[in-house]
Amino acid sequence: MTAVAVPDVRAPRRTQGGTTVTRGVLDVLAAWGVQRIYCCPGSTEAAMLDSLVTRSDLELVLVTHESVAVAMAEGDARATGRPAVAYLHTNVGMANGLAHLSSAQLSSAPVLVLNGLKASTLAGRGAFTTLAHPRDMVRQHVKWAHTCAAADLVVDDVDRALHAAIAEPAGPVWLGLPQDLLETEAPVPSPPARRAAGSGLTRPAPDAVAAAAVLLAGAQRPVLVAGGEIARRRATAEVLTLAERLGAPVFTDGRRDFQASTVPTDHPLAAGLYDPAHPAVRDADVVAFLGSRVFTEFEAGGTDELPAAARLVHLHPDAAEVGRLHPVDAPLVGDPVLALADLLAALPADVGRRRPAAVSAGESASRPAAERFPGHVGLGPVVAALADAVAAADATVVLDATTATVPLLRGLRTTRPAQLLSSVSGSLGWGMGAALGVAMAEPAHRVVCLLGDGSFQFGLPALWTAAADKVPVTFVVLNNRTYSAVASALSRFGGAAAEQDRWPGTDITGLDIAAAARAFGVPAERVDRVADLPRALAQALAGPGPAVVEVLTGPASPPTQPPSAQSPSTPTAADPAAAPEGGGQAW
């Protein structure tokens, strides 16, 4: 190689950009409906970037930290149901994207991670930004992982990776792309026409459907739990029909498993977050977990999360999830829409005639949030104001608020499936990128991202992309200047910290969040009176681009007061789902 010649811009060469291989990759992505590539590039991405110069069907969305790319791709995939692409640079970029990838895995989001690697011939030479086995670092976070081995196989590998991502159970996949293969002009196949006319989805076996139908039809006090897969597979109508025929209350997943809103909170049968202490659950004779992960445990040997006497129905697209931790009486493996249709058809005709139309719901109905959190001065009215603003704008909500999660899940009102999206990965900062991805992929709804000040620091670089692309996300930061989850854990531990009223590792006072947002070019307002919040939210939601509303809330666990002394409802191991503000075991 010699020095690059200075191109003569007066006589353009009219190149298509990139190489046959990179153009082929983009052709495949476009054929699959991918519209954006979320990317923090490095030098290994030159050929791919070059081929994007001449295309209008694919947009490069530049991010300034790889964690943002991965979260955006997940948000995009969850909003559209289609695969989305994060493009990361070498081993260090991949490492930076890894934590949020665990969220995509848990939410079954078909995220394709393309990982630009140094040339394959360098892999064994300890070269700059290489690992001997990059796949080994990633493999636990994806369902499929492969490093391309030859230039003429790259395009087909990308196609296969996308197929793997969307095949049920869907999930993230990883494809390593050595630089030398991308920079080669190689014969590549045409964008493959995967010729399947059907969906590739499955129904449960007839005997399984019949068993579940018998169980539910015979139940005296059935309870339904509509989990995240109901939102992902858009099976809410089927769940509500089943609930109405059975006269059964419908819970959403509990706080630990909550991935997405599933049933309208104002539905007469909507019962709020799954809670083993709720009377309907406690007294249930049959509980049907529909599209739920049962459960995402927080601690060992903890609580009995299932009513002892109840028999269980468990529906999930992933056979490995059904009965994973708890024995199930009626397992249903398959697509929720198809399985629920089968189940409804299998119910005896008289089910739904002899029952009352409605059973008392839980606490999540239309009662204003403020009334439900009388003990939490500060956060209660904040939640109420947020709920009103979200409802007024019919906004989509992305939640990344650690210890404020439970009050928010209880207080927000939703009418659309997946109107509220969360993560169960515990990877802080996820929400900021995810919200941007949702907003880009589904511009019909405004997006509100609710997060804590700890999460905000993790997600900060997302503001660069928010500003650069003018993405209309309203970030609402509940700033209590505290790692409340740590303070709560210290309180539960009950040792010297609680005794001496000293809380190491909890005080994160110092960042002026609104000022930080403005430094990125994002309009921001700090609100320290609840009365000002509705106006601030309305203003942010009406603006043309991103905005940050920083809400100063009372420290959930002030260093001067042990959290356990603060509230009668400090979480207990026996009832983690009931943890209120400051009591969350969020992280």
Which lies closer to its own copies via its Cβ, residue 159 or residue 183? 183
Distances, alpha carbon 574 to alpha carbons 283, 287, 308, in Å: 17, 20, 14
Token representation of residue 211: 């068993």
Look up residue 187 and give its two tokens.
């014969």
- 363-377: b or e for each residue (b if 16 or more CB lie within 10 Å)? ebbeeebbebbeebe
The nearest distance, CB 3 to its own copies, in angstroms, is 4
Q: Where are the alpha helices (DSSP H) in 9-65?
A: 20-31, 46-52
What letters, b where the CB count within 10 A reaches 16 and e where it falls short, cover 89-112? bbbebbebbbbbbbbbbbbbbbbb
Least separation, in Å, of the C-beta of 19 and its own copies? 8
Question: Measured from the CB atom, is 90 or 419 closer to its own copies?
Answer: 90
* Residue 450 beta carbon to its own copies: minimum distance, rounded to whole angstroms: 19
CB-wise, 360 or 509, nearer to its own copies? 509
The residue (of 18 and 378) whose beta carbon lies closer to its own copies is 18
Using the minimum distance from each CB to its own copies, give the nearer residue, 264 or 584.
584
65 versus 221: smaller Cβ distance to its own copies: 65
Type of residue found at 216? L
Smallest distance, its own copies to C-beta of residue 458, A: 6
Question: Residue 205 CB, nearest distance to its own copies (Å)?
Answer: 25
Q: Read off the DSSP letter of residue 124.
A: T
Q: Which residue number, 136 or 371, has a Cβ lying nearer to its own copies? A: 136
Token output for 324: 């994973």
Closest alpha carbon to 414 in 379, 387, 435, 450: 387
Nearer to its own copies, 16 or 360 (CB): 16
Pairing state of beta strands 524-527 and 547-552? parallel
> Is the Cβ–Cβ distance between 522 and 465 less than 8 Å?
no
Task: Let me know: does 472 contact 444? Beta carbons within 8 Å.
Answer: no
Shortest distance (Å) from residue 581 CB to its own copies = 16
Contact yes or no for 490/466 (Cβ under 8 A): no
* DSSP state string for 454-476: HHHHHHTTHHHHHHHTT--EEEE
Distances (CA, A) of 515 to 166, 512, 533, 554: 41, 5, 18, 20
Q: Which is nearer to its own copies, 79 or 117 (CB)?
A: 117
The token duo for 404 is 């404020």
Q: Which helix (H) or strand (E) holds 380?
A: helix 379-393
Look up tokens 């819970």; give the residue. Answer: 251
Cβ distance to its own copies smaller for residue 167 or 511: 511
- The nearer residue to its own copies, 209 or 524, going by C-beta atoms, is 524
Query: How far apart are CB 50 and its own copies at their closest, in Å?
Result: 4
Strand partners, 420: 397
In the complex, the smallest distance separating the C-beta of residue 297 from its own copies, rounded to whole angstroms, is 4
Dihedral angle over CA of 10, 16, 19, 20, nearest 10: -150
| Angle at alpha carbon of residue 464, lines to 510 and 397, rounded to 5° | 80
Shortest Å distance, C-beta 2 to its own copies: 6
DSSP 8-class letter at 218: H
Write down the least CB distance from residue 496 to its own copies, Å.
3
Neighbour count for residue 227 (Cβ, 10 Å): 30
Nearest distance, CB of residue 134 and its own copies, angstroms: 8
